[in-house]
Every structure is written in structure tokens, then in C-alpha cells.
Amino acid sequence: MKTIDQALLPIFNPTAAAEDGERCRAPGRAGAVPPAIAQPGAAPLRFDLYASIHKAIRWGSAELLGRLGAIDTDSDAEVHATAQALVAFLEQLRAHLRHENRHLHPAMEARRPGSAAQGGEEHEAHGVSIDALEAEMRAVAALPAARRREPAQRLYRHFALFTAENFMHMQHEEAAHNAVLWAEYSDAELLSIEHAIVASQTPEQLAGWMHWFAAALPTAELAPRLAGARAGMPAEAFEGLMAQVAARQAPARRAQLHRAVEAMTGLPVARQRVAHARAARAARTALAPARPASASPSSS
């Protein structure tokens, strides 16, 4: 079996892969990095259950890895904030494993027995790693500042290795699992699986994912999700959601997203708060006692 460094090398250096005489592959994994990245140009794009959520996980993994590497172990506040963020992210990864185990793997196995076996085994290993990473993070946070530096560095490296393995795992899913799902299921059926996954989550869990979607997805992928949410949410709750998204985006990106959501829903997004304020003002004015005739306009 190759080391993880050897397995990853061909992804960044195709020449080395050719010289090595091997296709890009993770240890013990048949198949491949390239096929999932480029769907055949002439073929219609299929509904991809993995695309958005895996972008969110890749973004979150990279962000957390950066924070762990840059952490100031002398700062209690920074260590505890990082611990809180990492533990929350690891919980999201656990939930993601559960969703795939409950909704995707049974669908694959139902029509192509054995096709989810490798993914299932890797999920079991990832569950163990996730628990270990959380325990390691909590142990670092519980140490006095003077003794945190070395274990924090160890945690950073462990999380980096886990991230590398998880990136390979997600690549396998996007290549091999999608090939099975696209061959065995229609897009309508895949969409109903996606709906079942969304319906199984609490609003808080969905909001947790939106934190990463907001940063990780292009407007073309994010806007339809928000437009769908708008249809089932009270205006005020939607404003809160948009504010959460806005906090993760640059102003230009935010404006582009608002325009896209407005175009899809036919409802104002950015001006919604203004519209509410105007309506409230109008109601107050209508209910207010009549102004004395002698009052000047500037006295208000």
C-alpha cells in the first residue's frame, strides 16, 4: 500500500503519475480522480447529490485546518473559539456520514449490490477518526496555555491527514458512487433522495450547513437553495438566513446573490427590511392621533 503522500502526488503532478505508470488513485481504491471532475462534454449534466455538500465540507475542512495551524495557543479565547468551531464542524461531518449511510448507500445497494461497500467501510473509519479528533481538541483546550503548543501541533497534523483522506474519499464518492446512482436512478428519484435528506434535519442543522454553503458555493448553486427556502419561510426568518449568508460573503457577491434570489422568487430580498419598516411606519401613522392644525412641519 502506498503512503498517503505517494497517493496524493499524482493529483498535483500528472507527469509523475505517468512516469509512475499508475492512474491517480487512493490506496486500495479502484478508479480515480479525473472521471468525476469532468462529465462528458456532450452528455447532459445529471443531478449530483454530492456536489454542493462536498464543496461545503472541503471549504470547512480547509478553513478549520488553517485555523488549527495558525492558532495562538497562549490565547484562551482563541483556543476555545477554535475548539468550539472544530467540534461543531466534526458534528456536521458525523451527520453527513449518517445521511449518506441512511439515504445513499441503501439506494445504491438496492440496485447495485456491493457498490457502497467501500464507502461504508471508509465511513466507519472516519467515524472513529472524528471521535478521536474531537477528544484531541477537547484535551488541548483543557490544558494550561504553557502546555498546549505541542499537542496543538499534533492535532493540526492529525486533522490534515484526516482531511487528505476525506478528500480522497469524497472524490471516490463523486466518481464511483455517482456512476452507480446515475446509471440506476433518474434525476427525479435522486432529487427525492435529496429532499428526504433535507427533511430529516432540524432548522438548526440546516443553518449550520448554510454557514459553509454561503462561502463555498457559487451564486448559481446557492441562489436556488435560498429561493427554495424563501418559499417555505416567513419573511423575517428568511431575513435572518440572508443575514447569516451575508456575513460570509464579500459585498459584490452578496449583491449578486440578492439579485439572483429576487429574480427566482419575484420577491425583494435586500429591501425586505426597508419594506417592513415602511409598513410599520405607515401603520403607526394611521393609528396616530391627528396632528394639531397649528403644528409646523418642522416640529415633528
User: Applying CB under 5 A, which residues contact Fe ion?
Assistant: 100
What is the nearest approach in angstroms of Fe ion to the Cβ of residue 164? 15
H-helix or E-strand spanning residue 122:
helix 117-142
User: Rounded CA gap, 69 and 176, in Å?
Assistant: 32
User: Rounded CA gap, 45 and 89, in Å?
Assistant: 30
Q: DSSP class of residue 297?
A: G
Burial of 30 (0-12, 13-18, 19+ CB in 10 A): exposed
Grid cell 472541503 — which residue?
A: 58
Residue 10 CB contacts under 8 Å (≥ 6 apart), including other chains: 16, 17, 20, 22, 23, 24, 33
With b for 16 or more beta-carbon neighbours within 10 A and e for fewer, the 178-201 pattern comes to bebbbeebeeeebeebbeebeeee
The sign one gets for the Cα dihedral 175, 181, 184, 185 is negative
What is the nearest approach in angstroms of Fe ion to the Cβ of residue 172? 8
Q: DSSP class of residue 101?
A: I
What is the nearest approach in angstroms of Fe ion to the Cβ of residue 188? 23
Residues 181, 108: contact at Cβ < 8 Å? yes
Cβ-based nearer residue to Fe ion, 49 or 71: 49
Instruction: Tell me which residue has its CB nearest to Fe ion.
Output: 100
Cβ-based nearer residue to Fe ion, 100 or 165: 100
Cβ-based nearer residue to Fe ion, 96 or 258: 96
What is the nearest approach in angstroms of Fe ion to the Cβ of residue 119? 6
Cβ-based nearer residue to Fe ion, 48 or 100: 100
What is the nearest approach in angstroms of Fe ion to the Cβ of residue 101? 8
User: Rounded CA gap, 191 and 78, in Å?
Assistant: 41
Cβ-based nearer residue to Fe ion, 178 or 272: 178
What is the nearest approach in angstroms of Fe ion to the Cβ of residue 253? 28
What is the nearest approach in angstroms of Fe ion to the Cβ of residue 29? 13
Task: Give CA 206 to chain center in angstroms.
Answer: 10
Cβ-based nearer residue to Fe ion, 102 or 195: 102
Q: DSSP class of residue 100?
A: I
**Positions of E strands within 65-223:** none
Cβ-based nearer residue to Fe ion, 100 or 134: 100
